[in-house]
Amino acid sequence: DAGVIQSPRHEVTEMGQEVTLRCKPISGHNSLFWYRQTMMRGLELLIYFNNNVPIDDSGMPEDRFSAKMPNASFSTLKIQPSEPRDSAVYFCASRYSGSGFNEQFFGPGTRLTVL
Amino acid sequence: GQQVMQIPQYQHVQEGEDFTTYCNSSTTLSNIQWYKQRPGGHPVFLIQLVKSGEVKKQKRLTFQFGEAKKNSSLHITATQTTDVGTYFCAGYTGGGNKLTFGTGTQLKVEL
């Protein structure tokens, strides 16, 4: 298995532009998580999906952020419009929910820089 | 909301010295996980503890889960340069699907 796949790996954009981050979870996993990591705030959960349905989006910073999961093998996190304070590493993670073992598998992350 | 704090925030050790990071939750956890993130990398799962007072070992790493299931620790014996990275604890509450990560402890090992 290729693991969790994220694209792009690096993104540099200008303030005000739309940014779309993509994630392909591990096949067979039914839960997907989006995290943001910064030096100041650490690793924060933004939103998670269970069976493609958003369950908890309380970590989404504001309306500029939106996430979708149209099917079991793809999810997007969109920022529109982007701001410099959105600069961070964004991780996608997936896991299989339904057994007692709840390990999360993280993707390599997308490093976002908003100028 | 639930908060998970770790101390220390940073630790520099000489190779061969021991290292311990402590994890404290504001609420009782159903289980706790530990992850390691190498510089420039992503968090990678190390272990899960479920039972009150549980102790698990992985070679030079020893993990403990507190009796009250609100704290945990990771101890590394005789650190090596390969141990460099940030160690995170993360806990679930109740039967939820949401994993709350601790603040992390960054370990640097010098020769």
CB pairs under 8 A between A and B: 46
What's the first-to-final CA gap in chain B, in angstroms? 41
pLDDT at A61: 87
Residues of chain B contacting residue A101, judged by C-beta atoms under 8 Å apart: 48
pLDDT at B96: 66
Structure tokens belonging to residue A111: 């490093």
pLDDT at A38: 95
Is 80 exceeded by the pLDDT of residue A98?
no
CB atoms within 10 A of CB B92: 19
Average confidence (pLDDT) over A92-110: 88
Structure tokens belonging to residue B16: 């061969």
pLDDT at A110: 98
pLDDT at B3: 87
pLDDT at A95: 93
Whole-angstrom distance, CA of residue A76 vs CA of residue A79: 10
pLDDT tens per residue, range A10-24: 999 999 999 999 999
Select from B88, B106, B110, B100 the least CA-distant residue to B39: B106
Over its length of 111 residues, how does chain B's per-residue pLDDT go in tens digits?
778 999 999 999 999 999 999 999 999 999 999 999 999 999 999 999 999 999 999 999 999 999 999 999 999 999 999 999 999 999 987 666 788 999 999 999 999
pLDDT band at A102 (very low <50, low <70, confident <90, very high): confident
Interface touch B43/A43, C-beta < 8 Å: yes
Average confidence (pLDDT) over A1-30: 95
Residues of chain A contacting residue B45, judged by C-beta atoms under 8 Å apart: 103-105
